[in-house]
Amino acid sequence: MVDDDLGTATIVYETADDGTVERTVQNEHIAYFQDHWILKTDEDADRDVVRRIPRERVHYVERSVEEFEQEVGTLRNQVESLADDVRSKLLGGDERSEQEAHHIDVESDEDTT
């Protein structure tokens, strides 16, 4: 079931057979993941049929959203979450708050701690 309140997205991309294609889908049926746009194209029995489109083939994606500020806030939260995950993996959890910063003068290669 599709929630109409989420808006729509129009994606314009190149295909090998049809040239430039423009498709409009519900926002919940399109996502960007691992350098590909993924969009739901159909349903088959109990499964969704999706198309993965490499970002190099996409001209643009235009989305209608209820509030632009809310959309940007969501993106900001996703980036902050990703940064927290990377920080946690690199620094081992909450150790960052317990460790002292280590500064290196890049031009002279001297340790300034």
Write out 40-85 in H/E/C secondary structure.
EEEEECCEEEEEEEEHHHEEEEEECCCCHHHHHHHHHHHHHHHHHH
The pLDDT score that the predictor gives to residue 64 is 82
Q: What is the mean pLDDT of each run of 10 residues along the chain (113 residues)?
A: 69 94 91 89 88 94 72 68 78 57 64 55
Spans of all domains in the chain: 1-65, 67-113
Write down the pTM of the prediction: 0.54
Q: What is the pLDDT of residue 86?
A: 80
- In this predicted structure, what is the pLDDT of residue 72? 59
**Residue recorded with tokens 């993106």:** 75
- For residue 70 the two structure tokens come to 């809310």
